[in-house]
Chains A and B, each alone.
Chain A
């Protein structure tokens, strides 16, 4: 009797396990993401506001058409997506309907196609925010997702908690604030930047516009600027406990304006390239500051 009972128990357990596994796999296969596409005609310069309080990626591209196209892909039964148009303003929100226990369990991804002249306010939790070829002021917020901007212009405000920023061929003004994220600004021609992070690394490798102001501040990460010998800038670098690594000493002259000559001591440095028209302020608590000439 005992062997029979043991076999019976095992059989039942195996059957139950198989049924559960089969059903779980089948449910995963049987639940494709919700895919929706909405078109909103606009007349002038639209403003698109997207608040995604669940995980997900936001991609924005531009077109010549006077319309905003919103394509969303979301977890079925787990996300509610609201869209509203009020004149040239498009409001989009994605809200979770269930509590998320696994990463990407409750997710909504968006692809927006907007006119070239568009203002953006985008917010997501995780997942990349990618904006390409859009002219207009934009405020982009992410908790853990990165922000990637290419050929955008306007007053750009980026706030992340742990996500990083990569800004390529950007023009206008840029504000970046993060705790764990870094920022790379490449091939850009920004007239004002303000990059601030606690532990991320900061890099500016772009044009220094005359009369531009460039402020880069990282508490623990590195701060690096690369300039061309034809640029015109004053560099003021200060680190509390980190090193100031000036690898372009032959191009940086002592301060020509006369008030900072005594600052070149310890972890501080002040130097001028050209006439010193742009103002570059580099600061760190313990991170290394590097000043390099662009090859």
Chain B
């Protein structure tokens, strides 16, 4: 038997019990003897480990509290007695006079909203190829500062502001409205970004549901692998899938935190 045959045998059949040819090879080959001894120690040590140890519940509680304190996740507030009092007062809001007033106010508010909401579309800009850095910002303006519809119809709406700047110009960073380049946080998200309430706005309901659903799926996979490993602790393929599922869960949780969502 050659060394490569011995290694192949170990890979296929494990350590016990070695066939006669392998045992005789062990007596002749010190390298394989060392390999066999190392593997025996590793296997025996591994058997002493508990199959899977879940972290204690207090760790999660503490972690969640810490993250909530830092503003990374939101914790749902318990129902308070004030809320009950508010609900008790609700029927009084449905009196005819109150309803009529509210309806009128609502209709006026909508009319005002419609009046200021309309704005021209199809804005087209072409920038010259010369500037090294061109920056275009098209933030939506607050409704309160926008033109009424009648004026907007007469005067053309201002095109999105387009400023060409040299990257080396220090004035860029001194501008009060300066924001980092959009690409700065594309594939990672920083702690500051997660704490920014602006980043919390506009998160997708559909994406949120998908993240939660897939978190549930991956938890099921982990549970299934753990269950299998309790019965077959030496199953390398199951261990591989468990490790992979943990990796996926870590990435998923990171994505949830990155986008300002909460796991629950």
Q: Mark B181-203, 1 if CB is under 8 A from A, else 0.
A: 11101110000000000111111
CA–CA, A100 and B209, complex, Å: 13
Q: Residues of A contacting B248 with CB < 8 Å?
A: 177, 179, 198
Q: Mark B235-256, 1 if CB is under 8 A from A, else 0.
A: 1011001001100100010010
Q: Residues of A contacting B136 with CB < 8 Å?
A: 38, 82-84
Answer whether residue B71 sits at the interface, using C-beta atoms and an 8 A cutoff.
Answer: no
Answer whether residue B169 sits at the interface, using C-beta atoms and an 8 A cutoff.
Answer: no
Q: Which of A13-48 contact B (CB under 8 A)?
A: 13, 15-16, 19-20, 23-24, 26-27, 30-43
Answer whether residue A277 sits at the interface, using C-beta atoms and an 8 A cutoff.
Answer: no
Query: Which of B111, B213, B235, B248 neighbours the largest number of chain A CB atoms within 10 Å of its CB?
Result: B248
Pick the contact of A98 from B201, B211, B213 — CB < 8 Å? B201
Size of interface on B: residues with Cβ below 8 Å to A: 76
Pick the contact of B217 from A9, A196, A199, A259 — CB < 8 Å? A199
Q: Mark A243-266, 1 if CB is under 8 A from B, else 0.
A: 000000000000000010011000
In the complex, the answer to whether A91 meets B182 with C-beta atoms within 8 Å is: yes
CA–CA, A42 and B245, complex, Å: 42
Please classify the interface of chain B as helix (H, G, I), strand (E, B), loop, or mixed, using the class held by over half of its residues: helix
CA–CA, A284 and B202, complex, Å: 37
Q: Which of B121-154 contact A (CB under 8 A)?
A: 121-129, 131-140, 143
B160, closest chain A residue (CB):
A36
Q: Residues of A contacting B8 with CB < 8 Å?
A: 259
Q: Residues of A contacting B106 with CB < 8 Å?
A: 16, 19-20, 23
CA–CA, A162 and B225, complex, Å: 21
Q: Mark B98-113, 1 if CB is under 8 A from A, else 0.
A: 0110110011001101
In the complex, the answer to whether B186 meets A123 with C-beta atoms within 8 Å is: yes
A259, closest chain B residue (CB):
B8
Assuming the A-B contacts A38-B127, A49-B186, A259-B8, are A144 and B217 also in contact, with contact meaning beta carbons closer than 8 angstroms in the complex? Answer: no
In the complex, the answer to whether B205 meets A103 with C-beta atoms within 8 Å is: yes
Q: Residues of A contacting B117 with CB < 8 Å?
A: 27, 30-31, 76-77
| Closest chain A CB from B168 CB (angstroms) | 11
Q: Residues of A contacting B252 with CB < 8 Å?
A: 161, 179
Assuming the A-B contacts A89-B183, A179-B248, are A162 and B213 also in contact, with contact meaning beta carbons closer than 8 angstroms in the complex? Answer: yes
In the complex, the answer to whether A144 meets B210 with C-beta atoms within 8 Å is: yes
Segment of A50-58, A186-194, A207-215, A228-236 in the binding face = A50-58
| Closest chain B CB from A81 CB (angstroms) | 5
Query: Which of B12, B103, B214 neighbours the largest number of chain A CB atoms within 10 Å of its CB?
Result: B214
In the complex, the answer to whether B138 meets A139 with C-beta atoms within 8 Å is: no
| Closest chain B CB from A246 CB (angstroms) | 19
| Closest chain B CB from A41 CB (angstroms) | 3
CA–CA, A121 and B154, complex, Å: 41
Assuming the A-B contacts A86-B167, A91-B183, are A38 and B125 also in contact, with contact meaning beta carbons closer than 8 angstroms in the complex? Answer: yes
Q: Which of A78-92 contact B (CB under 8 A)?
A: 78-87, 89, 91-92
Q: Residues of A contacting B181 with CB < 8 Å?
A: 84, 86, 91
In the complex, the answer to whether B121 meets A35 with C-beta atoms within 8 Å is: yes
In the complex, the answer to whether A20 meets B103 with C-beta atoms within 8 Å is: yes
In the complex, the answer to whether B140 meets A77 with C-beta atoms within 8 Å is: yes
| Closest chain B CB from A56 CB (angstroms) | 9
| Closest chain A CB from B115 CB (angstroms) | 10
Assuming the A-B contacts A80-B140, A84-B135, are A16 and B99 also in contact, with contact meaning beta carbons closer than 8 angstroms in the complex? Answer: yes
Q: Residues of A contacting B134 with CB < 8 Å?
A: 40, 84-85
Q: Residues of B contacting A95 with CB < 8 Å?
A: 198-199, 201-202
| Closest 5 pairs (CB-CB, A-B) | A96-B202, A93-B182, A41-B129, A16-B103, A23-B110
Q: A34-B138, A82-B136 are in contact. List 16 more A-B contacts (CB 8 A).
A: A23-B110, A31-B118, A37-B123, A38-B136, A54-B204, A76-B140, A80-B139, A84-B182, A93-B182, A93-B183, A96-B202, A97-B139, A106-B204, A126-B204, A144-B204, A180-B217
